[in-house]
Amino acid sequence: MTKEEQLYWTSPTNPLVVTNAKDYQIQFYDIHTPFMIMLETCHEAENLYSVYQFTQSNYQSSVFSKDNFKFVKDRPLHQHSCIEIMYVLSGSVTNHVENQVFTYEAGQCCIMNKNIRHCEDFSGEFQVVFFMLQDDFTSDLLKDHLDVMEHHEEPDEENLIFQLIADGKKEMLKFDKVYLDCFPMISADKILEILSPLFNSILKETIDWKAGSSFYIKGAFARVLQIMSDPTLFSINRIHSNSRSQEYLFSKISHIMRSSHGRCTREDLSTQLHYNGEYLNRIIKKYTGMTLLEYGQSIYLEEARKLLADTEKSISSIIEELGFSNRSHFYRLFEKYYGETPMNYRKRIHNKQK
């Protein structure tokens, strides 16, 4: 390790504290402040790599060239003393999560509990922001969320983000290895338009730090988590890292298929998951007994069945909502799956509910 590298990790001004390290091989990251923001940028083609760290009492920046950042690139998997949120601002970043490797694209987010061992690659072109939130800080966010939920007339569906926070405080679950994959339901640019004002205001208040900043920042973080929990903006997949690789891959396929109402081609899946299309088709066949086409049909027909049973939407609007251009084709498929026409199914279900 060069003198410059050693100074970077051991500097008393560095808000990121590295412990349990041998010969500066990083094992565990800790922060001694309620939260920390870290902005990483990689321009491999230009041999430029930068890390900016912000806390309420500290600012640290480091810019590396190809010749002096080997210690960052070669670091092993590590854990944190806090929950970490990774949001990809631009480009794509390769992340090693336990024993698997995934690529996260712009607009995607990963939220990891304390037990997940991970490490991103400094390669390619990307800009990523990390939010590291300590226990006391997340306890305040959780309390605010529960207070808000008490005043809702109808309880929301389970909020996976706040559930992750709550589970981390339970003795029986404190060793679980769990993380959340958050996929944008709209374009990455539109998501960033919504989140950027909050990201920027959190950063500004952190740098300026004046009366009321701590309250403002907690409120802004609470709003960020609320936005990420909005099912019209993000689809969230909860992953227990002890699951086997193919099981995890199928859960990701299923997640994408359901998010697209079953309208996802083999090429689309291959592009998003970075696996060969034929291999993905075999995974689907293994876990469902169906081809990709059949699996997609089962998803949108199940959605149609729920809409017929639970809403008053017309059959025509349901057909349009699910992307069918051929009404008779929809009727044939529905009758094949459920043994009766959509109209007869709706009448039978409604009569049972009376």
* H, E, C per residue of the chain: CCHHHHHHHHCCCCCEEEECCECCECCEEEECCCEEEEEEEEEHHHCEEEEEEEECCEEEEEEEECCCCHHHHCCCCEEECCEEEEEEEEEEEEEEECCEEEEEECCCEEEECCCCCEEECCCCEEEEEEEEECHHHHHHHHHHHHHHHHCCCCCCCCCHHHHHHHHCCCHHHCCCCEEEEEEECCCHHHHHHHHHHHHHHHHHHHHHCCCCHHHHHHHHHHHHHHHHCCCCCEEEEEEECCCCHHHHHHHHHHHHHHHCCCCCCHHHHHHHHCCCHHHHHHHHHHHHCCCHHHHHHHHHHHHHHHHHHHCCCCHHHHHHHCCCCCHHHHHHHHHHHHCCCHHHHHHHHHHHHC
pLDDT attached to residue 1: 41
Whole-number pLDDT of residue 2: 46
Percent of the chain at pLDDT > 70 equals 84
Positions of the chain with pLDDT under 50:
1-2, 4-12, 17-26
According to the model, what pLDDT value does residue 351 have? 80
Q: 167-196: per-residue pLDDT in tens?
A: 888 866 766 788 999 989 888 899 999 999
Predicted pLDDT of residue 354 = 62
Cα–Cα dist 58/33, whole Å? 10
**Angstrom distances, CA of residue 48 to CA of 39, 55, 67, 344:** 14, 24, 10, 64
Copy the structure tokens of residue 9.
């990790």
pLDDT of residue 69: 57
CA dist 224 and 347 (Å) reads 43
pLDDT of residue 324: 82
* Per-residue pLDDT, 22: 43
